[in-house]
Amino acid sequence: MSGQDAVNVAKAFNDSLSLTGVIISKLDGDARGGSALSIRHMTGVPIKFSGVGEKVSDLDIFHADRMADRILGMGDVMTLVEKVQEEVDEKEAKKAANKMMSGKFGLDDMLAQMRQVQKLGSLGGLLKLIPGMPKISPEQQAIAEKEMRNFEIIINSMTYEERHNPSIFQYSRKIRVANGCGKQVSDVNRVLKKYEQMKDMMKQMEQYKKSGRMPPGMPPGFGGMR
């Protein structure tokens, strides 16, 4: 975060101690990041790690090629894949995928999937790793994250029966759920609509899978993310 000064400090320390590696901490807080680009060249000391957040897990091994990709806005699929492998339970994911494909896809499955995505970190940070994804502003991100939370709240207020078979929802049930979680009936409707959309998409995916083609306009593997 100290900009040019970081390079001078590293140089000074290197002169008296001859360092063997540099860790760039607080890289997330620095919108410019020029020191990261200069430090290797000016000191000759390789960058080993970079700190990208406050949590104890927010330290990455530094990969020059991936960072270059990211600087040029080309995304960073490698890091995304690693993240997914670390955080997502493979068995669980397979089970969910099977469930989706078989058409038995309930609201709590949708919730479980959303939680898996949330585990990967902030939405904005995630989108940055996917090449060609549109950038979203912090406001949009906040709205999306709030919506996710609302979904969770609303789905948690439903009965088991309702979650597994949302077609039983009539007006009275919606009112009950809305009152139960302190939301409006329109919010409940939105959740149900999203669920229907997702279900439709699953059906399409299944058909595409059968015919062996990819759905138009969707990067492979990202069906069902929205």
Shortest separation between residue 45's beta carbon and other proteins, angstroms: 9
Cα dihedral across residues 108, 110, 116, 119: positive or negative:
negative
Residues in the chain: 226
**Which CB atom, from 31 or from 167, has the smaller least distance to other proteins?**
31
Interface segment toward other proteins; rule CB under 8 A; list 13-21, 168-176, 190-198, 215-223: 13-21
User: Rounded distance, CA 205 to CA 69, Å?
Assistant: 30
Shortest separation between residue 214's beta carbon and other proteins, angstroms: 24
Q: Which of residues 32-61 bind other proteins (CB under 8 A)?
A: 32-38, 40-42, 46-49, 51-52, 56-59, 61
Strand locations in the chain (E): 22-24, 47-51, 59-61
Contact with other proteins (CB under 8 A) among 70, 176, 183, 194: 70
Shortest separation between residue 62's beta carbon and other proteins, angstroms: 6
CB 167 within 8 A of CB 189: no
CB 152 within 8 A of CB 114: yes
Shortest separation between residue 90's beta carbon and other proteins, angstroms: 17
Give the closest residue to 110 by CA, choosing from 216, 190, 170: 190
**Which CB atom, from 16 or from 170, has the smaller least distance to other proteins?**
16
Interface segment toward other proteins; rule CB under 8 A; list 72-80, 165-173, 179-187, 203-211: 72-80
Shortest separation between residue 33's beta carbon and other proteins, angstroms: 3
Shortest separation between residue 47's beta carbon and other proteins, angstroms: 6
User: Rounded distance, CA 134 to CA 70, Å?
Assistant: 14
User: Is 186 one of the binding residues for other proteins (CB under 8 A)?
Assistant: no
Q: Which of residues 124-183 bind other proteins (CB under 8 A)?
A: 125, 128
| Those residues with Cβ within 8 angstroms of residue 124's Cβ, 6 or more apart along the chain or in another chain | 136, 138, 141
Please tell me the chain's helix, strand, coil percentages from 3-state DSSP, rounded to the nearest 5: 65, 5, 30
Strand order in the sheet with 59-61: 22-24, 47-51, 59-61
Which residues form the interface with other proteins (CB under 8 A)?
2-4, 7, 9, 12-13, 15-17, 19-21, 23, 25-28, 30-38, 40-42, 46-49, 51-52, 56-59, 61-65, 67-74, 86, 125, 128
